[in-house]
Amino acid sequence: MPHLSIFAACEKVIIDQAGVASLITLFGKITISLPPEALEMPPNAVTPREWTIYSLWEWDPEDQGKRFSQHLEIRWPNGTVLVEKRDELVRVADRRSTQIVSPIAGFPIGEPGMISIHLRLEQDETPVFEAAPIHIEVVHTPRPAQ
Amino acid sequence: MFPGLPYPPRDYHICPCCSTEFGNDDAEFSHIQLREMWIGNGAFWFFGNPPPRWNPWMQLFEGDHREAVPSFRTDLKSEAATKVEPRLVMTGLYTELSAA
């Protein structure tokens, strides 16, 4: 079974020509500054800001010929699912690892609290591993009137 | 456009997401105008219960209408959850950083 070596949420991932990844601005806490007129922001608000979830899987020799996929979920602080993504883990012959870059088109800002990102590995659509979730704290702060 | 329309977007069929009646509402307004009106009224689901995990803003992103999603006039700033303070450790030639 492949082993999860890196699981991170960040602003951007740059992959160079050799396939080496650089993770830019790892997310830990997101502060949303709200002007008074933004108080009508709905709790399901997602702002148009791209970000990325990155995972790196290391293969075992005995994984040859087996089918694995990763399943990602981004959950609101109340636990409901906002985004669900499934990607096949494709093993390239001369590589001992596989990296998956999952771009997300918008960032959930409507509900303050802990956004969680859940990742599990499935073999033939049966869960075989679940990673410790990533938590991103979303804080709303009022922006002083100008 | 809602990707799960049960009928083609014509012949007076009504979109369960935004309530557009195709052939009637879009005879009077463009699809861009209808989308703006739907967003301006809160981008609520129109008929029955929305599909599981439905989010109007993600639907717009996925439908390649990123420009239509309001920014809600917010500023978004990313901060580290871990505070990193430079700490000089004199161990020969090395300088280390510690994370608190």
- For residue range A2-37, list pLDDT tens digits in order: 999 999 999 999 999 988 999 999 988 888 887 776
Is a pLDDT exceeding 60 seen at residue B94? Answer: no
Q: What is the mean pLDDT of residues A82-109?
A: 92
Lowest mean pLDDT among A107-111, B30-34, B90-94: B90-94
DSSP-derived secondary structure letter, B91: B
Residue B64 zone, left/alpha/beta (φ > 0; ψ -120 to 50; rest):
left
The whole-number pLDDT of residue A86 equals 95
CA distance A78 to chain B (A): 13
Name the 3-class secondary structure at A121. strand
Residue B34's H or E segment, with its range, is helix B31-40
A109: closest chain B residue by CA: B76
DSSP-derived secondary structure letter, B21: B
Domains, chain A, in order of start with CATH, read: 3-142 (2.60.40.10)
A74: closest chain B residue by CA: B53
pLDDT tens-digit map of B26-43: 998 999 999 999 998 989
- Cα–Cα distances in Å, from A132 out to A67, A79, A117, B28? 22, 15, 9, 52
DSSP-derived secondary structure letter, A143: P
Q: How far apart are CA B28 and CA B31, in angstroms?
A: 10
Rounded to two decimals, the pTM is 0.83
| Strand A29-34 versus strand B84-86 pairing type | unpaired
**Which chain B positions have a beta carbon within 8 Å of A23's beta carbon?**
none
Q: How far apart are CA A138 and CA A111, in angstroms?
A: 8
